Amino acid sequence: MPAVNGNHARVLSDSSIRRAPYDPQQLTRFTTGNPDIQFVVVQWLDYLGMIRSRWVPIHAFDKLVMAQNRIGVSLGNLGTLQNDKVTPACNPVGQILVEPDLDSLRIMQTKGMIGPAASSVMARFVDDAAQPMDLCPRNQLQGFVEKLDAVHHVSMLVGFEIEVTFCRRGAMGPNGFFTALDTNHAWGTLSDEQVAHAFPLMAAISLELKGMGIEIEQLHSESGAGQYEFVLPPLPPLQAVDTLIQARQCIQQIAAAQGLRATYHPTPFPGIGTAAHAHVSLNSDVLPAEELEKLEKSFWASVLAHLPALCAFTMPQVGSYGRVIDDGWTGGTWVAWGTQNREVPLRRVETYGEGQGSRWEIRCIDGLANMYLALGAIFGAGLWGVQNGTKMLQQDCTCNPTSLSEEQKSELGITQHLPASLDKAVEALQQDGELADALAPGVVSHYLVMKQAEQKMLNLMPLHERKRWLMERY
């Protein structure tokens, strides 16, 4: 694969450069309501899903906003690994301008915090001409959302499920370092052990999130030991991912304050599969119901057609593929969709009222993904299908595909397996030129170089050390 050394500054969203990036009154309203704030943590995700940040004292952040400035960082930061090792995608010449999005500004949790009160804000990348950079995953996602709205009169909502495993450190467990918070545990249970340990932690997290302006809709135990789920409300896509990142950060920091590690690793312990399911709806106040349904089918038909390649974004680590199994309620092994079917990677959940589309759950996605990048790739594939009128060739699978004969699967259009490994997913992405064309220029080639370098680094570690290394970072 060639090294990627370009800036790629095509405009993805005209609206983002026709106006000044900040409304100073927006910051004034925030600081007036939160007078104790002393720092603003400007945050973004790198290509490997790691949170990167710059801490800015509130007086300096106010000056930045008033002057309509950005924060300059090296262009090379787009090409470094989690431990800052450089890759062939690293270009040390040039800069990225980090532009905070004040719409995502919120206080950080106070529980367990040492030091002054702080807030966080998510950011996008622009170039020296103040144009959104193609290689910014957040820009790409927003560009697809705006195009669906402006050209096709469709708005989108996304709701995430946060699955997390709470662990204790320092005890010899199945992976050599971590043990689960509780073991007297199953889906939807509330045992004495859970009441003593997990429930107070879950309640504290939920109340802290509420104080940050993040309302949890539901929370419950999941199937694995130490595994729990927080359900976030449906939001516009960019806001949904911003909220997801800030909520997951809060969960980890409160757990850390109690001496625990909260991890989003997809297979932290044997027999435990942890996902990050995304519920997506396409909605329109303009399109007739039958036209919206046709558009929706083209969108999801294209997602299914490109699903093997999309898995390289949505399930980005070797451990992600421990969830690609049959009869495990994890999404199964076949490229398929079905109404209320949890043994397929794309589940249609329910139909809304007249003029609204259906809600679809993307199940082949986990917490190691850069969610801007993963959701952007899914939306890019879906938009490609809408623009090209892709036909939905698969039928609604209303049973477990493993119960069907090969002939029955073929009749439903179920003919392809999901990748069974990261190598297979990466290979599918390398071969999917249509998806590369659907996404912003350079995104696929840059990502492939990064994944190749990352996996080369991780493959030097023993398996138990690799898992521990990832659990400490995600």
Strand stretches in 101-191, DSSP E: 106-107, 118-126, 155-169, 178-180
Given a cut of 80, whether residue 130 has pLDDT beyond it is: yes
Which residue has tokens 């249509």? 434
pLDDT bucket at 92, cuts 50 / 70 / 90: confident
Please name the residues in contact with 2: beta carbons below 8 A apart, sequence gap of 6 or more. 445, 449
As a whole number of angstroms, the distance between CA 300 and CA 386 comes to 9
- Looking at residue 108, what DSSP letter applies? P
Given a cut of 70, whether residue 206 has pLDDT beyond it is: yes
pLDDT bucket at 15, cuts 50 / 70 / 90: very low
Range of the domain at 70: 14-133
Shared domain for 185 and 276, answered yes or no, is yes
Q: Mean pLDDT over all residues of the chain? A: 91
In a domain, 301, yes or no: yes
- CATH number of the domain to which 269 belongs: 3.30.590.10
In a domain, 256, yes or no: yes
**Which secondary-structure segment (H or E) carries 72?**
strand 71-74
The larger pLDDT score, comparing residue 7 to residue 425, is at: 425
Shared domain for 319 and 242, answered yes or no, is yes
Shared domain for 128 and 174, answered yes or no, is no
As a whole number of angstroms, the distance between CA 393 and CA 409 comes to 12
Q: Phi first, then psi: what are they for 377, rounded to 5°?
A: -65, -40
**Which secondary-structure segment (H or E) carries 378?**
helix 371-388
Q: What is the mean pLDDT of residues 244-267?
A: 95
pLDDT bucket at 195, cuts 50 / 70 / 90: confident
Instruction: Give the residue from 305, 348, 296 showing the smallest Cα distance to 156.
Output: 296
Given a cut of 70, whether residue 114 has pLDDT beyond it is: no
- CATH number of the domain to which 116 belongs: 3.10.20.70
Given a cut of 50, whether residue 103 has pLDDT beyond it is: yes
In a domain, 347, yes or no: yes
Q: Are strands 218-221 and 155-169 parallel, antiparallel or unpaired?
A: unpaired
How buried is 265 (Cβ within 10 angstroms: 0-12 exposed, 13-18 middle, 19+ buried)? buried
pLDDT in tens, 311-361: 999 999 999 999 999 988 888 999 999 999 999 999 999 755 444 568 999
Given a cut of 60, whether residue 174 has pLDDT beyond it is: no
Q: What is the mean pLDDT of residues 434-447?
A: 97
Domain finish residue from 98, 133, 168: 133
Shared domain for 172 and 50, answered yes or no, is no
Shared domain for 303 and 355, answered yes or no, is yes
**Can you give the pLDDT at residue 131?**
92
Q: Phi first, then psi: what are they for 125, rounded to 5°?
A: -110, 135
Domain finish residue from 133, 164, 190: 133
Shared domain for 456 and 351, answered yes or no, is yes
Given a cut of 50, whether residue 12 has pLDDT beyond it is: no
Shared domain for 271 and 373, answered yes or no, is yes
pLDDT in tens, 156-173: 999 999 999 999 987 655
As a whole number of angstroms, the distance between CA 469 and CA 269 comes to 14
pLDDT bucket at 198, cuts 50 / 70 / 90: confident
The larger pLDDT score, comparing residue 16 to residue 21, is at: 21
The larger pLDDT score, comparing residue 7 to residue 226, is at: 226
Percent of the chain with pLDDT over 90: 81
Shared domain for 124 and 45, answered yes or no, is yes
In a domain, 5, yes or no: no
Contact 217, 140 (CB under 8 A): no
In a domain, 4, yes or no: no
Q: How many CB atoms lie within 10 A of CB 129?
A: 9
Long-range residue pairs from 2-6, CB within 8 A, at least 24 positions apart, any chain:
2/445, 2/449, 3/88, 3/89, 3/449, 4/79, 4/88, 4/89, 4/91, 4/442, 4/445, 4/446, 4/449, 5/89, 5/91, 6/91, 6/442
Overall number of domains in the chain? 2
Domain finish residue from 99, 133, 167: 133
The three-state secondary structure class of 160 is strand
Instruction: Give the residue from 313, 299, 315, 311 showing the smallest Cα distance to 380.
Output: 299
In a domain, 1, yes or no: no
Shared domain for 336 and 286, answered yes or no, is yes
Please name the residues in contact with 263: beta carbons below 8 A apart, sequence gap of 6 or more. 164, 165, 167, 178, 274, 471, 474
Percent of the chain with pLDDT over 70: 92
Given a cut of 70, whether residue 204 has pLDDT beyond it is: yes
Shared domain for 23 and 159, answered yes or no, is no
Token code pair at residue 146: 């705006």
Shared domain for 461 and 367, answered yes or no, is yes
Which residue has tokens 């080639």? 445
Q: What is the mean pLDDT of residues 390-412?
A: 94
In a domain, 3, yes or no: no
Given a cut of 50, whether residue 11 has pLDDT beyond it is: no
Shared domain for 380 and 404, answered yes or no, is yes
**Can you give the pLDDT at residue 17?**
41
In a domain, 370, yes or no: yes
